[in-house]
Amino acid sequence: MLTINELSKTIGTYLQPEQVDKVQLAYQFSAEAHQGQKRISGEPYIHHPLEVAYILGDMRMDYQTLAAAILHDVIEDTQTVKTEIRKKFGKGVAELVDGVSKLDKVKFESFEEAQANNFQKMLMAMSADIRVILVKLADRLHNMRTLGALESEKRIRIAKETLDIYAPIALRLGVNSIRLELEELGFATLYPLRYRILNEQINKARGHRKEVITKIRTALKRRMRQEKIPGQIFGREKHLYGIYKKMRDQNLSFSDVYDVYAFRIIVDDVDTCYRTVGTVHNLYKPVPEKFKDYIAIPKTNGYQSLHTALFGPYGVPIEIQIRTKEMNDVAETGIAAHWLYKTQNIAKGSVKGNKDRTDTQRRAKEWLRNILEMNKTAGNPEEFFENVKMDLFPDEVYIFTPKGKIMALPSGSTTIDFAYAIHTDIGNKCVGARVNRKLVPLGTQLTNGQTVEIISASSGKPNPAWLSFVVTAKARSQIRHFLKNLKNSEAIALGKRLLNRELEFFSLTYQDIDDNDMKYLLKENKDSNEDDLFQDIGLGNKMAPLIARQLVVSKKIVSNNENDSSSKNIIPLSIKGTEGMVVKFSKCCYPIPGDPIHGFVTAGRGIVIHRQICKNIAKYQKQQEKWINVEWESSNEGEYQVKIHMNVNNQRGVLATVAATIADADANINSVEMKERDDRQTSLRFIVEVKNRDHLAKVIRKIRLIKNVSQIDRN
């Protein structure tokens, strides 16, 4: 069992003696606080935080992080409070411990809600100090190493959470050493049979592989000596979870994945990296389009290396990674490399930085800024949790701005994702995009090396349809945030109109509602302010006639027409067509200006407009209180969808003729369906955009003039 003396010996190789003393003091404090507590396995509880600190000590973390690791459970599992830690160990350690601690004092309705809240709190603390997540990752790693003592259901839940959340976070921050072990342990727990079979297959195949690996390494060393390139060559074993994922995602057999021989070459500097690529390409033939330069264009997590694939001896495929020692340190420990070199430089009396490590820090901070922005726009912790999970993916594409700046985006990103990656305002006002100087649809997926220019306009705003194709968490959360606020403001405006219309029936207006009347209405309807009340009315959650009657009763007003049911709802609500998301036009009958219409109030959606002849109206007849008298405003300048149906003769070019005729009538085609009725005729259904009934009549008249159209009607 690990002891504090062993930890002190390890960290004493890079920390100052007084810093080691502070870590030992933290151990003494934690051991007293956890006195008598045991883990489920039966060992003293203090063993766990000591192991967590040892993991971080191997990563050469600073003394504050090590002290926080040893203390990380005292707030959660003992009577110790944050102020006590702050007093004894300083503000930095106290904030780290608090950031890692769970929200155990708060009761949640479900495990998912608790998980989301804990995750949100941890990431917010991490945004203030990224060492929080390093402690949490080390904590999770030791918990995964000791899962065997837990019951099966809990083991599976923790393993799934590890693969879904913590391993991707470790990857995102470049902490590869922890990420690989988390994935292996999670895989072994979640899929024990698959893990065992793969492990057996690897052990069987290892004997022959050793000979091939030795031969390839010898050839590489010989060629590098001939070219006078100093460096180290390591055979790189693929880890089990990586093999499993590749087999699953690419539908490959075990031999297809495991027959690839992987090597890593560590050299002195960047220039030598590129010389080494030329050397290995002269030794073995390179595979076309398999060279990747992550030195010139680092990955989002700061990872830098040259990757190439070769045809080796006997035709075996070889993968080679070429990097400097510092790049290798960043690849293994990611953001933690900053503290590794910081402690080394302090020990040497130097504070000189390194561009690679600075870039890693900058990229991590950029990701954290996005996390903070997502937190502000998320409606609740669960939504925030889902947004961050979406953002934790390794595959990327590299896109150029018109000025030549390189931006990394997740694979599958669209021009809208790119716009939001530049700035939220650019995304919100995006109206078009050019890829390599050509106009493209906004949903176009981007590929490596493209140059993208975003066209924005002050009148532009997000479209709900964007949510169906964006892939970045930032774009999704910002679009939802904008639409939610837009819908709320539209609902408030509509709610005021609806209430005012009902008040007119009692010879009142909204201006007649004084402060006392409004307080009465808010109290009766359990709303905190006027906007909430109007929003509920606009969204159909509360009925305007009932709210108006509450006010009338409170003012003891009786209308001359109150008992005349024929006058109820007599004042129609004018529909402009610009009400936005709270007034919707039914897809069953496609109403357009000029049609006699009815409105139906639907909870959470606002008003749905139907034509008076719509067949679906019948099923709502028993809900008269939700019907509202509506009419079109005299001046409507928008465009409305309408469905037209026609039968045409099966003649070549008839569809093109109909489409051209619709365009000549200044109407836009949204969609078309074709269904062959028999050998002679085909049924066509178009959804077109028109301004009103007169415009539709013009379109239909022009289509009737086409000789191959035998019948046409609306809907």
Q: Which residues are identified as catalytic? A: 76-77
Alpha-carbon distance 53 to 142, whole Å?
Answer: 10
Q: How many Cβ atoms are within 10 Å of 701's Cβ, its own excluded?
A: 11
- What's the Cα-to-Cα distance from 462 to each of 240, 313, 369, 513, 689, rounded to whole Å? 43, 55, 22, 35, 21
Angle at 533 between CA 527 and CA 535, to 5 degrees: 130
Determine contact, residues 624/640, Cβ cutoff 8 Å: no
* Encoded tokens for 352: 């000189």
Distant-in-sequence contacts of 370-374, Cβ < 8 A, 24+ apart: 370/473, 370/474, 371/123, 371/126, 371/127, 372/124, 372/127, 373/424, 373/474, 373/477, 373/478, 374/473, 374/474, 374/477
- What's the Cα-to-Cα distance from 551 to each of 131, 524, 560, 565, 625, rounded to whole Å? 57, 10, 16, 19, 18
Look at residues 403, 406, 430, 404 and name the one whose alpha carbon lies nearest to residue 417. 430
- What's the Cα-to-Cα distance from 102 to each of 106, 295, 364, 534, rounded to whole Å? 9, 39, 23, 39
Q: How many Cβ atoms are within 10 Å of 22's Cβ, its own excluded?
A: 19
Determine contact, residues 612/598, Cβ cutoff 8 Å: yes
* Amino acid identity, position 398: Y
Determine contact, residues 649/710, Cβ cutoff 8 Å: yes
3-state helix/strand/coil string of 483-549: HHHHHHHHHHHHHHHHHHHHHHCCCCCHHHCCHHHHHHHHHHHCCCCHHHHHHHHHCCCCCHHHHHH
- What's the Cα-to-Cα distance from 631 to each of 591, 599, 609, 649, rounded to whole Å? 11, 9, 10, 39
Tokens 């990857």 locate to 171
